[in-house]
Amino acid sequence: MNYAPGTDYDALWKKIISELFEEFILFFAPDLYEAIDFRKGIVFLEQELPKVIIEHKKGKKIADKIVKVSLKNGEEKYVFIHIEIQGKKDPDFSKRMFTYFYRLFDRFQENIYSIAILTDLSKSNDPQAFQYSFYGTELTYRFNTYKFNEEDIPSLKKSTNPFAIAVLAGIYLHQTEKNYHKRYEVKKKLLKDFILTNPNLKSNVAEALFYFIDYLLYLPHELTKQLTKDLSINIEKEAKHMLYSEKIKEAPTLAEYFKTVREEGFEKGKMEEKRNLAAELLREGFSVEKVAKMVKLSLDEVEEIGASIHPNQPES
């Protein structure tokens, strides 16, 4: 797999899940979503993982999360998220899921929702329920699964949930494994069509999704520079036409460039709001000193604004 050198894909998935957890549940577990009271907040229990899931995972790409949520009926429940980043067929997968479940159940003594997200595209990767039977002692453990290999790309493209695009990026990662130029094209299309030209995308969602796609769909340095150049106009437009410097253009990653332009655009917007407020206060008769203190601008800046709205009249 053409992964970026040094990139921690476990952390990449954990990051976007943490930042967009409500959207994650809505996409992967819509039935559970309806029951959760998100107004009461959520608690990530990363510190509990080493106590519960004690397993040497050498050679595996696995992202696990435990999240405590409050239901609308007042109960507290635990969501266990298990993601196989390099999901390949594993005869012991269902057993591992059961092992995680009973350790979590023993630790918390609460109902637990488990979901396994399998990123592999192989049709043979189809884990079944874990079953145990020994002279009359029997057990069947079923868990929720989401399989990339069963998803319909056109349906993902129509979805308004950001995780549809995250899944799409995961599918493209496998499909472009041996072709960076093909990956360049699909990455460009994802970033442009679903983020940079989407007027309904919230700022925090855009940044989280942009970061995820940029690092997941790794491209060599030269192709990254070309992609930055190709998308620069769209990034500027998305960031309220903020002009960018040569330093920004040379940012190490496309995600950093996007974030920097957005931040500078935001700062420019805040300054514009301050100047507009100062002008309004001056029109209402407030002194320059008072306005400067109220909107936190310098006296010179406020005097300049005053001169622009009350230009000196020519002598008669």
**Residue 88 confidence (pLDDT):** 66
**Do 143 and 190 share a domain, yes or no?**
no
**Do 186 and 85 share a domain, yes or no?**
no
**Amino acid at position 32, single letter:** L
User: How many domains does the chain contain in total?
Assistant: 3
Query: Poorest-confidence range of 110-114, 256-260, 265-269, 282-286?
Result: 265-269
**Do 210 and 227 share a domain, yes or no?**
no
**Do 64 and 167 share a domain, yes or no?**
no
**Do 5 and 146 share a domain, yes or no?**
yes
- Quote the crossing angle between the two packed helices 254-283 and 221-238, to the nearest 10°: 20
Domain span at residue 214 reads 151-219
**Residue 259 confidence (pLDDT):** 64
Last residue of a domain, which of 197, 219, 241? 219
**Do 125 and 176 share a domain, yes or no?**
no
pLDDT of residue 212 exceeding 60, the answer is yes
**Do 26 and 138 share a domain, yes or no?**
yes
**Do 155 and 142 share a domain, yes or no?**
no
- Cβ neighbours of 33 (radius 10 Å): 15
**Do 138 and 230 share a domain, yes or no?**
no
Q: How confident is the model at residue 234 (pLDDT cuts 50, 70, 90)?
A: low
**Do 85 and 155 share a domain, yes or no?**
no
Q: What is the pLDDT of residues 117-136, one digit of tens each?
A: 888 888 777 888 999 999 99
**Do 26 and 45 share a domain, yes or no?**
yes
Query: Model-level pTM greater than 0.75?
Result: no
**Do 201 and 283 share a domain, yes or no?**
no
Q: What is the pLDDT of residues 241-271, one digit of tens each?
A: 333 333 334 445 666 656 665 555 445 555 6
Last residue of a domain, which of 91, 119, 150? 150
Alpha helix segments (H runs only) across the chain: 9-19, 21-28, 30-35, 49-52, 93-108, 153-158, 162-175, 180-191, 203-216, 221-238, 246-249, 254-283, 288-295, 299-309
Stretch 83-93: mean pLDDT: 70
Q: Which residues contact 230 (CB under 8 A, 6 or more apart)?
A: 188
**Residue 49 confidence (pLDDT):** 66
Stretch 126-152: mean pLDDT: 92
**Residue 243 confidence (pLDDT):** 34
